Chain A
Amino acid sequence: MTYRKILTDGLWQQNTGLVVLLGLCPLLAVSGTVVNAIGLGLATTLTLVCSNLAVSLARRALRPEIRIPAYVIIIATVVTVIQLLMQAWFHDLYRVLGIFIPLIVTNCAIIGRAEAFASRNAPLPSAIDGLATGLGFLLTLVALGALREVVGRGTLLSQAQLMFGDWGRSLEITLIPDHPGFLLAILPPGAFIGLGLLIAGRNWVEARRNRVRGAATAHRAPA
């Protein structure tokens, strides 16, 4: 398995949010704004890299019958460490994402990658796989967050100061001035509809690419 394949799998072919459809609970709950999406996406990515790395390092010692409890301990430890670090150094963001950070433990994508990849691969590919999967999740979160924030509030990157400190205030972009606010996009139904649209969009792009590829090989004899 090449690194290139690992990366394209995580980012596109096996994207957690759009294809495998794991970890939908945090994805739907925290995608109200781009800044929340980036915050949770980065925390999840960091968790994935650390947990994949730890699982891969310990993979020979972990016999099949104890692997699941061991993964749970590893993931819970990583998440709690990240939570404490955020609480100490990114306190304002922590106050926004607060209850969703412990919930990263329950993001089945993480235990899924530990089981499907890290438990049978060397540490470096496992870490890369964690990074790729996490970035794929992050991008999905940001896409959904941007969609909901623009439609719902007419802004992008509002409240960026929570993550980047005071200079973050200047990052806010108002795309639609005097937007009256479109509640449906901000409330939970908007998350479901938006995710549905994103999945449909990805499938459409994928189908087109396959058709183009199919057309390119059409002159050969049918298999």
Chain B
Amino acid sequence: MKLMLRSAAALGLVAIIGTSLLTGVHFVTAGRIVEQEKRVILQQLGQLVPDRYDNQLLDDRFTFTNERYFPNGQPVTAWRARQGAQPAALILKFNATRGYNGDITLLAGINASGSLRGVRVISHKETPGLGDAIELEKSDWILGFTGRSLKNPSSEKWAVRREGGEFDQFTGATITPKAVIDAVRMALEYFETNREFLFNAPADDGGNLKS
């Protein structure tokens, strides 16, 4: 009995020491981790952000879902850039769900006029060497979206060349670029019909950047 109690006390002590150590480290690192995450998001948004805006872009964001345009119940995040009270541009984070292997997470910067500032791939699990040419580090294919809009090219030309569209495919990988092209087009269509909502919806609580 006494032995049992001593064992329990020893185990409890280990747990208490472990927990307090973790609490301490969390306390020391928490601020820095939030800062690092902000830095990463800014870096990703960086090239898509307009040159001139005067609001707190990182805090002016909200999350929504829309099954028709952004399938599989995915949360879509929107960051709003404003100049004065006027909407300047919007950055959407969403997934292309019809890739070759799982979701392709994309960022699309859209000007208030509806043209694309650009598109970037944040993460994907496409085949290395074939589908990964969607990454800017691997090829500049993704830059082909810059300046495009629903009128440029017209809707039926939003496809790979093999299917009569205006976008290049990759040798050996058609599914990946198709998935990205379709997802970006859907995002633009959503933007066109929901502009007011996207710019006027109230921002989520700031501070939590873990989305």
Contacts and interface: CB of A to CB of B under 8 A. Distances in A.
Interface of A: 58, 61-63, 65-66, 69-70, 73-74, 76-77, 80-81, 84-85, 87-89, 91-92, 95, 152, 180-181, 183, 186-187
Interface of B: 3, 6-8, 10-11, 13-15, 18-19, 21-22, 25-26, 28-29, 32-33, 36-37, 39-40, 127-130
A77 B21 contact: yes
A181 B33 contact: no
A84 B11 contact: no
B22 A65 contact: no
A180 B14 CA distance: 53
A95 B129 contact: no
A119 to B, nearest CB: 13
30 contacts: A58-B10, A61-B10, A62-B10, A63-B6, A63-B7, A65-B7, A66-B7, A66-B11, A70-B11, A70-B14, A73-B15, A73-B18, A74-B18, A76-B18, A77-B19, A77-B22, A81-B22, A81-B25, A84-B25, A84-B26, A87-B36, A88-B28, A88-B29, A88-B32, A89-B32, A92-B40, A95-B40, A181-B129, A186-B128, A187-B127
Contacts of B26: 84
Contact of B21 (A69, A70, A81, A186): A81
Given A73-B15, A74-B18, A85-B25, A91 B10 contact: no
A50 B14 CA distance: 15
Contacts of B14: 58, 62, 70, 73-74
B51 to A, nearest CB: 25
B127 A88 contact: no
Contacts of A58: 10, 14
Given A77-B18, A81-B21, A186-B129, A63 B3 contact: yes
Contacts of B13: 61
Nearest to B34: A88
CB-based closest 6 A-B pairs: A181-B129, A77-B18, A91-B36, A88-B29, A88-B32, A84-B29
A91 B25 CA distance: 16
A85 B10 contact: no
A85 B128 contact: no
A76 B14 CA distance: 12
Nearest to B132: A181
Contacts of A187: 127-128
